């Protein structure tokens, strides 16, 4: 049974006394923002020079914003000591650093923090990891996910049984600034896990083609394929052509045999084929080269410790270790490819049209062996900062431009059904929106297809209670939420 959690309160404000002294809010107070344990009326907000920015009905508190006059009255609204509602300033909270971030030399090479400052962290972009699946059991798993599929076992649970796909997904979008483990290049991008490789790391061209088609048709903006073979197949080629035809950015590993030809699917037309570099921006000796190569990115070299940090120069992420999860160093073009996929997500999150992404990445790569393209490093090492700096700046809207749709969608009729390991939730919206549910502690799941009737199904632990919020976003980007709700055994 699903139950709504509701809380509300009235303000009960007392008359203001201008003679009351102003209390020092402290150095971490956000200027002009106040948290008030009351839902102020329009008259009260007008009297105080405040506007309500947000309201949390569960906590019975609102976030209010005010001008200078309101700031001078921030502790004169009554306060609990005077019998009125509790009032306090909104305060700055700093992100907790990832403790092993210093071992991610690859992130220093790409200058990811500078990229984030330019264009965000991949918000709104969806990257499909077509691989051995993605495990969610670690303490530092990607925080933003959408529904995927398992083409090995034929079900909706693409959990990893090998570890390769989890490591790859971590490079793209590991949970970041959470005080745990490591970081991801585009940590706010959504990960779509598509399992096409079994526990031993083997799969078939048919399943890979099925995975590519599923992800492309399911709304993925970027596909990462850290898989490959020296042989091409017509079914993979057709699937890649289908995805590229939909405008999806397809990224794949060049291969790890040191060959002078690029593996498939990286060698198919329209795919960004990625080779590997090691510390010092030099080509890794195992990296396949050739006429189909487009870019290189950090892939590591476990035979060296060039930076003297006491660890082999691999790419570090959380993944499976046979007993659970651990932070492990891997090497390979499989590790290089997700850096490029994540850079594509950063561009899309910053507003780049998907069709422009391959050109932005190749045209702004850091050339390592001279000028122009070469068969060993392609157009050079991917440089997300330079690519973001090359994004065209949109002109400001004309003063007489129409305002457009600014109304948030209305969510109603939230209900659900639960039996054993299955949870189904359904609801409606007054206009077409995406279908999303954010579970406390697990992340966000759903898809962006614009509909008014919504239904999502989840595989759950039959003995656990789940708390979640229903989310909606329309075509104009207006968003709303409803909840939180809970589902108990």
- Asked about 200 being catalytic, the answer comes back as no
| CA gap 182, 343 in Å, rounded | 17
Angle between helices 112-119 and 333-349 (to 10 degrees): 20
Residue 198 appears among annotated catalytic residues: no
Q: Is 454 a residue of the active site? A: no
Sign for the CA dihedral angle at 119, 115, 126, 231 comes to positive
Residue with tokens 């303490």: 139
| Residue of 131, 140, 221, 313 marked active site | 131
Which H or E run contains 161? none
Among 135, 159, 164, 313, the one annotated catalytic: 164
Q: What is the DSSP letter of 106?
A: H
Q: Which long-range contacts (CB under 8 A, 24 or more apart) does 173-177 make?
A: 173/122, 173/127, 173/142, 173/143, 173/144, 173/342, 173/345, 174/140, 174/141, 174/142, 174/317, 174/318, 175/140, 175/141, 175/142, 175/143, 176/98, 176/121, 176/143, 177/95, 177/96, 177/97, 177/98
Structure tokens at 41: 């009326």
CA-based nearest residue to 226, from 53, 342, 91: 342
Task: Kindly name the residue from 11, 132, 334, 435 that is annotated as catalytic.
Answer: 334
Cα separation of the two ends of the chain: 8
Tokens for 105, please give them. 């030399």
Question: How far is the C-alpha of 131 from the C-alpha of 435, rounded, in Å?
Answer: 25
* Cα 460 to Cα 458: distance, rounded to the nearest angstrom: 6
**How would DSSP label each residue in 34-97?**
EEESS---HHHHHHHTEEEEEEETTTTEEEEEE-HHHHHTTT-S--GGGTS--EEEEE--PPBP
- Residue 355 makes CB contacts below 8 A (sequence gap 6+) with 247
Token code pair at residue 129: 């990891």
C-alpha closest to that of 422 among 366, 454, 460: 460
Name the residues annotated as catalytic.
Answer: 131, 164, 334
């Amino acid at each position: 049974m699903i139950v709504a959690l509701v809380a509300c309160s009235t303000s009960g404000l007392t008359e203001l006394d201008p003679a009351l002294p102003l209390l020092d809010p402290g150095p971490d107070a956000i200027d002009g923002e106040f948290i008030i344990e009351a839902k102020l009326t329009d008259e009260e907000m007008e009297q105080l020079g405040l506007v309500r920015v947000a309201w949390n009905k569960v906590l019975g508190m609102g976030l209010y914003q005010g001008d200078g006059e309101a700031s001078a009255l921030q502790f004169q609204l009554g306060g609990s000591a005077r019998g009125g509602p509790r009032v306090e300033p909104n305060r700055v909270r700093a992100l907790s650093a990832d403790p092993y971030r210093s071992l991610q030399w690859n992130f220093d090479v790409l200058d990811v923090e500078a990229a984030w400052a330019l264009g965000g962290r991949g918000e709104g972009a969806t990257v499909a990891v077509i691989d051995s699946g993605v495990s969610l059991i670690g303490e530092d798993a990607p925080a933003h996910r959408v529904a995927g599929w398992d083409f090995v076992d034929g079900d909706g649970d693409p959990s990893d049984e090998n570890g390769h796909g989890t490591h790859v997904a971590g490079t793209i979008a590991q949970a970041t600034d959470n005080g745990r483990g490591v970081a991801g290049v585009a940590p706010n991008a959504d990960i779509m896990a598509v399992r096409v490789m079994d526990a031993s790391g083997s799969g078939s061209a048919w399943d890979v083609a099925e995975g590519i088609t599923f992800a492309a048709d399911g709304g993925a903006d970027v596909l990462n394929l850290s898989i490959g073979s020296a042989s091409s197949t017509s079914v993979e080629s057709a699937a890649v052509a289908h995805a590229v035809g939909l405008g999806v950015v397809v990224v794949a590993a060049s291969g790890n045999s040191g060959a002078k030809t690029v593996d498939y699917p990286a060698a198919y037309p329209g795919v960004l084929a990625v080779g590997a570099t090691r510390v010092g921006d030099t080509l890794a000796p195992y990296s396949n080269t050739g006429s189909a190569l487009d870019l290189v990115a950090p892939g590591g070299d476990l035979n060296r410790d060039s930076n003297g940090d006491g660890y082999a120069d691999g790419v570090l992420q959380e993944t499976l270790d046979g007993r659970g999860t651990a932070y492990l160093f891997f090497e390979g073009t499989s590790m290089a490819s997700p850096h490029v996929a994540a850079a594509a997500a950063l561009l899309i999150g910053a507003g780049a049209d998907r069709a422009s992404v391959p050109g932005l990445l190749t045209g702004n790569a850091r050339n390592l062996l001279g000028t122009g393209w070469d068969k060993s490093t392609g157009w050079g090492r991917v440089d997300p900062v330079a690519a973001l700096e090359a994004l065209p700046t949109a002109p400001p809207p004309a003063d007489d431009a129409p305002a457009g749709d600014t109304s948030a969608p209305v969510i109603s009729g939230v209900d659900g059904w639960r039996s054993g390991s299955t949870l189904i939730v359904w609801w409606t919206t007054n206009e077409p929106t995406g279908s999303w549910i954010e579970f406390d502690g697990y992340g966000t799941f759903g898809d962006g297809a614009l509909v008014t009737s919504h239904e999502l199904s989840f595989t759950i632990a039959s003995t656990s209670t789940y708390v979640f919020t229903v989310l909606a976003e329309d075509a104009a980007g207006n968003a709303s939420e409803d909840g939180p709700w809970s589902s108990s055994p």
